[in-house]
Structure 1
Amino acid sequence: MPPEQDQPKGSLKPQVYKDERPAEHFARFHERTRAKPPNWMYEVVRLILTPYLLIFFRTRAVDSDKVPADGPAIVAPNHFSFLDHFFVAVYLRRKVQFMAKSQLFTMPMQVVYHNGGVFPVRRGQRDEEAF
C-alpha cells in the first residue's frame, strides 16, 4: 500500500522534533545573536505586519510598559498561534531576540531569521547554545 494511503483522510503528519543537522550548523546564528542586535530586517517585518495584526486581530497589550526598555528579560507568549511572536514585536518598543525551532532555519526564511535576531533551539536534543 502506498504511504499516502496509510493515513486516514484529513489526518495530520506527525511533527518532527529532532533536527538531524549538527549543532555546528547553527553556531553562526548563535554567534550573530550574541554579537549584534537585530538589524533593519526586524523593522521591515514589524512595519509590514503591524497594520495587519492590529486591523485583522484587533489585539491590545496589557502592561507592556512594565517590560524593561533594555537589559535582559524573558517574554514567554502562550503560543495560541504561529503569530504570537509577531504580536510581541508589535507591542514592545524594544527589539526582541526570538528563539525558534531549528527546523525553521531553511532558505529563504533563514535570511530573515538570521538578520531579524532569531536564534535556533534544537528540540529533542541537549542544546546549551540556545540558552
Structure 2
Amino acid sequence: MFYWLLKFVLLGPLLRMIFRPRAEGTENVPLEGPAILASNHLSYADWLFMPLVIPRRVTFVAKAEYFETPGIKGRLQRLFFSGSGQVPIDRSGATAAAGALKTQLRLLRAGEVCGIYPEGTRSHDGRLYRGRTGVARLALESGVPVIPVAVVGTDRIAPPGKKFGTFTRPLVRFGTPLDFSRYEGMSEDRYILRSITDEIMYEIMRLSDQEYVDMYATQAKELAKEQAKEQARAKADAGEVDAERKAS
C-alpha cells in the first residue's frame, strides 16, 4: 500500500512535474504476471524513473543492512526502501548473489515484476559494460521472459560522484521480451549463461545507443582509479621538477 502512496500520491507526481519522463515500448511490459526488467545502470536515479512510467510495481533487491538499522533513522529508512519497491536480500543463501537470486525467484513465482541491473553497478563513464550472468540464471530458473530496458538521461540528472546534475527529460525504452525457454534445464551451463547474458546486453545496447565495453564495470572502475592515481603522481612529479628548476 505504501508503495502506491509513494509512487502515485507523493513522489510520482512531483517527479513527473519536474522531469516529465518519457517512455517508449511500455506495451512490452505485461499488465499482469511475472516479468524480469533488465536495465542499464547510469545513475542511482534509475530505480526511480524506470518504475514511474509503467503501472506495475517493480521490485529490486537491496542490501539487508538498509532494513536493519536501529532507531528512528532505521525505521524511516525501512519505510522508504519498502515503499519504493525494494526488498532485502535473503541472507540464508551462501552468498549475496545466491540470496538475491532466491529472493527474486520467490517474487517472480508470486507473479511480480523484478528489476535487475546486469552490470552489477553503475557505469562511471556512461558506457555499457559486460553483464553478470545472474540475470540469465534468474531467467532460466524462473522460466520468465526478460524485457530489456534502457534508461537514458539519468546520468545528467544525477551524475555518478556528484550531488547535483542538470534538468533533463529522462527516457525509458522497453524492448521486446526475450524468451529463453529453449535453454530450459541448462541453468548450470556457464556457456549458455554467458550466451544469454550477452544477448540481453546486446538488446540493452541497441536500445540505449551506449558504447559497449567487454569488461565488467567493477574492473573498469578500478582501472580508472589506478589511471587517475598515476596521472596525479605524474603531475606531482612534474611540479617538483618545475619547482627545482626554478629554485636553481
Q: TM-score, normalised by structure 2?
A: 0.32
- What residue is the counterpart of 2:102 in the other structure? 129
Query: Residue 99 of structure 1: SS of its match in structure 2?
Result: strand
Alpha-carbon offset, residue 97 of structure 1:
2.2
| Cα shift readout 1:78-131 (whole Å, capped 9, x = no counterpart) | 232222222122111122222223332231221343455421236x63425323
| Pick aligned residue for 1:65 from 27, 30, 37 | 27
Structure 1 residues 102 and 76: CA distance shift in structure 2, 3 A: farther
| Alpha-carbon distance change, 77 to 102 in structure 1, aligned in 2, over 3 angstroms | farther
CA distance in 1, matches of 2:13, 2:84: 19
3-state SS of the aligned residue for 2:6?
A: helix
Extract unaligned runs of 5+ from structure 1: 1-39
Which residue, out of 47, 54, 64, partners 1:102? 64
Aligned to 2:6: 45
* Counterpart secondary structure, 1:92: coil
Measured after TM superposition, the shift of residue 52 of structure 1 is 2.4
The structure having more radius of gyration, on CA atoms, is 2
Q: Which sits farther off after the overlay, 105-114 or 44-53?
A: 105-114
- Segments ≥4 residues shifted beyond 3 Å: 112-117
Alignment correspondent of 2:46? 84
Higher RCO, Cα 8 Å, sep 6+: 1
Separation in 2 of the partners of 1:59 and 1:116?
18
For structure 2, the 5+ residue unaligned runs are 105-248
Q: CA RMSD in A?
A: 2.4
Which residue among 81, 91, 103 is the counterpart of 1:113?
Answer: 81
3-state SS of the aligned residue for 2:16?
helix
Structure with the higher strand share, 1 or 2: 2
Contact residue 49 and residue 86 of structure 1 kept, 8 A: no
Q: Decide whether aligned partners of structure 1 residues 116 and 50 sit closer, same or farther in structure 2, where only a CA change above 3 A counts.
A: closer
Deviation per residue, 1:16-49 (Å, 9 max, x gap): xxxxxxxxxxxxxxxxxxxxxxxx1011111212
The alignment of Structure 1 onto Structure 2 pairs a total of residues equal to 91
Helix, strand or coil: the match of 2:62?
strand
